[in-house]
Amino acid sequence: MMHWPSWLTWYKKPEYRDIKEYSAAVGSGQRALSPHGRHSMIPSQLKLERVLDNKTCSPMSLYDFYMYLMHIELSEENLEFYIWYKNYERNYDAASGDKDDVSFLTSESISSDVNLNEKASSSKTPDLHVDPEAAEQTVAKLAQLIISGATCARGSKCKLTCADRRKSSANNGFQLPTNGTNSTTTLTEAGYRKELNAIAQTFLIPGAPKELNIPPAMRSQALASIQTSSTPSHLRPVADHVYQLLRNCSHRNFVRLGVSNGTFETVCVATGLGIVLTIAGFLAVLLLAFTPYRGFHSRWTVFAAWPMWWLGVSLIMSGLRGSCFFLLLFSRRQPLPWERFTDAETGATQRTGLLRILSRLMIFDRKFRVKDVHLRDLQHKIVMQSLVAGAAFASCSVLLFIFLPVWSTSLY
């Protein structure tokens, strides 16, 4: 079977998907969870699995993903719960030595389990004895876990300094401290119970500070099950559901913004310049065709408009995919939306009105180098595809006008 070269595969910006609407549709049965996650527009090197393994770099790192969920999508609880669960499962299995029940459930088995338990599940919330301080410590540890893993792990391809590499080697992988103990310490059943109660109080109970958006039957079944056992398998349907939300909504929206290296103002200016150049090309050809009179200029003068069409359409094609053509050429980017929230919190940006809009334009705004090599490759691919599309449009436009009977028939 013949495969297209990767640079020939046209990059299409992922469509925005509202996580609340998607989760509500899944919970009501209006749509499936899309278990295979067919996101061909997202390169394999930027898939969610690599982000969760901390093998991507700024602006596509795990920390960037967390900041996006916290400030833009307002759904950071999904990532926090999923990372907690994976560490809890790893620590539990390592302590118990039980390797028979490790794999995640498939979407089909999850659906069947929910249907089987829907009648048995109760809407009454189990009585959990939770220490509020322990719940707060759990959330703080989860945030610290993600922040401490901000440096790229081994296996990533990033433009890092030697100091960054040494730090990365020392912090390769995630281990969540459990109840103030080391991750390698075997906990008692009381320790597991305390942690599960804190997680239930934080994520699962209706009205919890970080309540997960999961189907009611799944929530009730999980709360009932963890009261009788600390086995991680009771929370696997919840973890799998949360993972599907991360993959099918949050991650695709994150990539959509991350690939867009310029602000809305910058992209609008660049795209507007492309539209002006394209229109100018057509006006130039029409002026050459009819001034000072028809047949005065040679047909070969049409090629004078070719550069304007080429550059104009190239700018438009880059803008339609949310990127600034000029920033892509130099692998530079402006601060992304979640990075600007940090500036606002620290008071770094105090401008308002027209000055605020002007400050967000490329020539005035701060610019950073894209550290993730795979994202840089994707951005270079967008540049090349835009240039090729612009050249094709310019050539077709020249062929359209060059054979019109409005040019001089003289050889000179």
- For 41-63, how does the pLDDT look when each residue is reduced to its tens digit (9 = 90+)? 788 888 999 999 888 888 999 99
Q: Which residues contact 74 (CB under 8 A, 6 or more apart)?
A: none
| Lowest-confidence region among 215-229, 282-296, 317-331, 335-349 | 335-349
Residue ranges and CATH numbers for the domains of the chain are 15-27+44-96+130-155+187-259 (1.10.167.10), 264-345+355-407 (no CATH)
CA distances to 247, 281, 313, 319, 360 from 277, rounded to whole Å, are 39, 6, 8, 14, 23
What single string gives the DSSP state of each residue in 182-210?
Answer: -TTSPPPHHHHHHHHHHHIIIIISTT-TT
When pLDDT is averaged across residues 358-366 and rounded to a whole number, the result is: 70
Q: Is the pLDDT of residue 282 over 70?
A: yes
More confident residue, 53 or 145: 53
Residues 4-30 have pLDDT tens digits of 566 667 788 888 888 888 888 877 777
What single string gives the DSSP state of each residue in 262-300?
Answer: S-HHHHHHHHHHHHHHHHHHHHHHHHHHHSSSTT-SBGG
300 neighbors 294 (Cβ within 8 angstroms): no
Closest-CA residue to 261 (of 351, 353, 382, 390): 382
When pLDDT is averaged across residues 172-187 and rounded to a whole number, the result is: 41
More confident residue, 119 or 192: 192
- Taking the C-alpha atoms of residue 244 and residue 316, their distance in angstroms, rounded to an integer, is 34
pLDDT value of residue 92: 84
pLDDT value of residue 85: 92
When pLDDT is averaged across residues 140-154 and rounded to a whole number, the result is: 62
H-helix or E-strand containing 332? Answer: strand 332-333
pLDDT value of residue 30: 73
When pLDDT is averaged across residues 171-184 and rounded to a whole number, the result is: 39
| Lowest-confidence region among 150-159, 248-257, 277-286, 354-363 | 150-159
pLDDT value of residue 265: 85
When pLDDT is averaged across residues 66-91 and rounded to a whole number, the result is: 91
When pLDDT is averaged across residues 81-98 and rounded to a whole number, the result is: 82
Confidence tier at 169 by pLDDT (50, 70, 90): very low
Closest-CA residue to 205 (of 127, 267, 265): 127
When pLDDT is averaged across residues 98-106 and rounded to a whole number, the result is: 39
Closest-CA residue to 249 (of 48, 10, 43, 108): 48
383 neighbors 328 (Cβ within 8 angstroms): yes
pTM of the complete model: 0.77
pLDDT value of residue 313: 96
The structure tokens 């609008």 sit at 268
Q: Whole-number mean pLDDT of the chain?
A: 76
256 neighbors 42 (Cβ within 8 angstroms): no
pLDDT value of residue 400: 92
The structure tokens 């993730």 sit at 372
Torsion of CA 272, 275, 279, 284, to 10 degrees: 80
68 neighbors 183 (Cβ within 8 angstroms): no
pLDDT value of residue 123: 44
Confidence tier at 324 by pLDDT (50, 70, 90): confident
Q: Is the pLDDT of residue 412 over 60?
A: no
When pLDDT is averaged across residues 375-383 and rounded to a whole number, the result is: 88
When pLDDT is averaged across residues 157-182 and rounded to a whole number, the result is: 42
When pLDDT is averaged across residues 209-232 and rounded to a whole number, the result is: 89
Q: Is the pLDDT of residue 251 over 90?
A: yes
Q: Is the pLDDT of residue 408 over 60?
A: yes
When pLDDT is averaged across residues 364-383 and rounded to a whole number, the result is: 85
When pLDDT is averaged across residues 298-320 and rounded to a whole number, the result is: 93
Confidence tier at 104 by pLDDT (50, 70, 90): very low
Residue type, 92: Y
Confidence tier at 148 by pLDDT (50, 70, 90): low
Instruction: For the chain, give the percent of residues with pLDDT over 90.
Output: 25
More confident residue, 188 or 35: 188
More confident residue, 77 or 43: 77
Core vs surface per residue 252-277: b (16+ CB within 10 A) or e: bbbbbbbbbbbbebbbebbbebbeeb
